[in-house]
Amino acid sequence: MLGSVLLIAFLSYASSCGVPTYPPNVASRVVGGEDVKAHSWPWQVSLQYLKDDTYRHTCGGTLISSQHVLTAAHCISNSRTYRVLLGKNNLEVEEEDGSVAVAVDTIFVHEKWNSLLVNNDIALIKLAEPVELSDTIQVACLPPEDSLLPQDYPCYVTGWGLLWTDGPLSDVLQQALLPIVDHDTCSRFDWWSIMVSEKMVCAGGDGVLSACNGDSGGPLNCEAEDGAWEVRGIVSFGSSLGCNTAKKPTVFTRVSAYIDWINEKILL
């Protein structure tokens, strides 16, 4: 019991999580997004797989401890070899100041991950070694267990995904403002209907800004009342009609629904 209490405290205390050295430009306005201020989302990682002796970006992820990264279950394939890039801004700059590449030790995919229904789309990566936290590499806070955010709460999706539907991947990390869409709205018949469960959270849906292919696994960043940034969602899926389709907001795995699962796996 004491170990669990200490673990929750370790992951959550605001003085060590969710406060970037270089605060993001969030007063300004991924698809339809913008280049971020370098290292303003220092928990964002690039999950990369090895192909033909070259590592390639496949998904985003979120550093939540010095040795653990949250990502989406659908990003993981047992046949692939992965590494994690941390402290990155431009993926085309090989030797970027403040960045580091780390091998993967273990990947925990949720036991009830269902690729057909896209349920429990969450995985936890244990890095081969702890990373040293710095101005460019920091951890995000986890949200309070089972907590929900209200309609239109401002959050930001970040990633190196497609700049537009069927467009190129971005070299530079992007951010886009995606307000929360509550479950009652997102589950309406002309929105996502029964595709969204209560363990998911929707954001966006204005037909202009959204996540896209390559952003999967990355964070939905939402600022708490104390000013620290929490990872409220993990990019899960969007519309087959196009990344920025009206009434089809980006759907995220709701992190607050999986706090117990995360804590359990971190202890392994």
Q: Which residues are catalytic?
A: 74, 121, 216
Compute the distance between CA of residue 213 and CA of residue 202 in angstroms, rounded to an integer.
16
Looking at the chain, which runs of residues are DSSP E strands? 34-35, 44-51, 54-65, 68-71, 82-86, 100-109, 123-127, 155-159, 174-177, 180-181, 200-203, 219-223, 229-237, 250-254
What tokens were used for 109?
A: 């995919």
Cβ burial, residue 206 (10 Å; 0-12/13-18/19+): middle
Tokens 């804590």 sit at which residue? 263
Edge to edge, the sheet with strand 155-159 lists: 34-35, 174-177, 155-159, 219-223, 229-237, 250-254, 200-203, 180-181
Compute the distance between CA of residue 84 and CA of residue 43 in angstroms, rounded to an integer.
12
Compute the distance between CA of residue 265 and CA of residue 126 in angstroms, rounded to an integer.
9
What tokens were used for 5?
A: 């209490």
